[in-house]
């Protein structure tokens, strides 16, 4: 089976974590299904919007001379070339979040969506928005997998200080770092006797992310919107407590989970109260753990299960209509 993967998210020298979930999905497909011959086209949109325009020509020329059983596009913006070519029955697009949840991007994405037979949404929130406008669209919800064999609970903590991690890099506006720091400042004023440190995830290797997760006490997600955030899944695999805004599929991952909480709205006091209830209640012992690894198993977010679902879509795509 020849698969052509087109993505505007892929690790590169300056951002080694950028689109790592796409790269890992491709690697997992190749590992579990060696019959796949996968060619990847990295559309380097970070160099400027003109790259999306030139892809209209370059990708359509490439597809004129090369035949693939399945074309798998990650992010609707990577599929702009479809607007200027024939409709292809073997095209799958995975919608990761921003291209649908950001209204400005969605104005472009929705035109691409109409040209595709199969839409993979990484969260129910994304699917709901698409179906609201296109009720006949063929959709399914398949989040990106987490490598549960790699991310594990190896935390050892003395409790001398508390470390709360921001769920991304502080420069990413959509992740809402100002609210994170407002919460931290509130907690420091509420518990002046405790040393509260912070951490963030900015351009780290997989090993560095795992090490950070195993040194923190809690992950705090303050994003304005998310699809199905990988860092939350990775934290849960390490049994790290998580407090998060009610975005994307986070509620499904955290609802009812030990030492985790979902907060509606963006009031810093509400987040501070949720964190305090986990880390600063009477009798708490460190490290504080969730039972997140079991939730990942229950939701079937492991790599083997997710990869099998993607492979089924590939096989369905090449069946005669």
Of the listed ranges 21-30, 74-83, 148-157, 299-308, the one predicted with least confidence: 148-157
Residue 320 has pLDDT above 80, yes or no: no
pTM of the predicted model over 0.85: yes
Segment 258-267, tens digit of pLDDT: 999 999 999 9
**Separation CA 33–CA 15 (nearest Å):** 28
Is pLDDT of 319 > 80? no
**Where do the CATH 3.40.50.2000 domains begin and end in the chain?**
2-145+302-317, 162-299
233 or 48, greater pLDDT: 233
How distant, in Å, are the alpha carbons of 5, 74, 112, 114, 270 from that of 93? 10, 6, 9, 11, 37
What's the mean pLDDT in 46-50? 83
Each residue of 58-115: pLDDT tens digit?
Answer: 999 999 999 999 999 999 999 999 998 777 889 999 999 989 998 899 999 999 999 9
Task: Dump strand ranges (E) for the chain.
Answer: 2-7, 37-42, 70-74, 91-95, 118-121, 139-141, 162-166, 196-199, 218-221, 242-245, 261-263
**DSSP category for residue 65:** H
pLDDT at 144: 96
Per residue in 124-164, pLDDT (tens digit) is: 999 999 999 999 999 999 999 999 999 999 988 767 899 99
Domain 2-145+302-317: give its CATH code.
3.40.50.2000
Q: Is-contact 4 71, C-beta < 8 A?
A: yes
CA–CA separation, 210 and 278 (whole Å): 22
Find the DSSP H helices in 93-163: 98-101, 103-113, 124-133
Chain segment 238-258, per-residue pLDDT in tens: 999 999 999 999 999 999 999
| Architecture of the 162-299 domain | 3-Layer(aba) Sandwich (3.40)
């Amino acid at each position: 089976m020849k698969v052509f993967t087109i993505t505007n998210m892929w690790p590169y020298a300056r951002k080694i974590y950028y689109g790592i979930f796409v790269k890992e999905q491709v690697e997992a497909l190749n590992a579990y299904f060696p019959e796949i011959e996968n060619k990847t086209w990295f559309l380097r949109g970070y160099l400027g919007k003109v790259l999306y325009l030139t892809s209209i020509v370059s990708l359509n020329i490439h597809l004129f001379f090369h035949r693939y059983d399945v074309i798998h596009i990650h992010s609707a913006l990577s599929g702009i070339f479809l607007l200027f070519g024939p409709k292809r029955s073997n095209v799958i697009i995975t919608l990761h979040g921003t291209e649908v949840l950001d209204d400005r991007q969605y104005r472009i994405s929705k035109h691409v969506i109409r040209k595709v037979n199969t839409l993979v949404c990484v969260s129910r929130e994304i699917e709901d928005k698409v179906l609201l406008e296109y009720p006949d669209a063929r959709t399914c919800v398949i989040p990106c997998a987490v490598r549960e064999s790699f991310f594990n609970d190896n935390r050892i903590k003395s409790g001398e200080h508390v470390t709360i991690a921001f769920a991304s890099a502080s420069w990413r506006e959509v992740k809402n770092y100002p609210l994170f720091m407002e919460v931290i400042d509130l907690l420091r004023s509420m518990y002046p006797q405790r040393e509260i440190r912070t951490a963030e995830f900015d351009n780290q290797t997989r090993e560095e992310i795992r090490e950070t997760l195993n040194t923190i006490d809690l992950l705090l997600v303050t994003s304005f919107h998310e699809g199905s955030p990988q860092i939350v899944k990775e934290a849960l695999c390490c049994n790290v407590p998580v407090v998060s805004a009610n975005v994307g599929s986070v509620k499904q991952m955290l609802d009812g989970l030990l030492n985790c909480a979902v907060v509606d709205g963006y009031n810093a006091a509400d987040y501070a109260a949720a964190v305090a209830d986990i880390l600063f209640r009477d009798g708490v012992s460190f490290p504080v753990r969730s039972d997140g690894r079991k939730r990942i198993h229950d939701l079937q977010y492991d790599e083997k299960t997710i990869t099998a679902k993607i492979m089924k879509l590939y096989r369905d795509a090449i069946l005669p209509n």
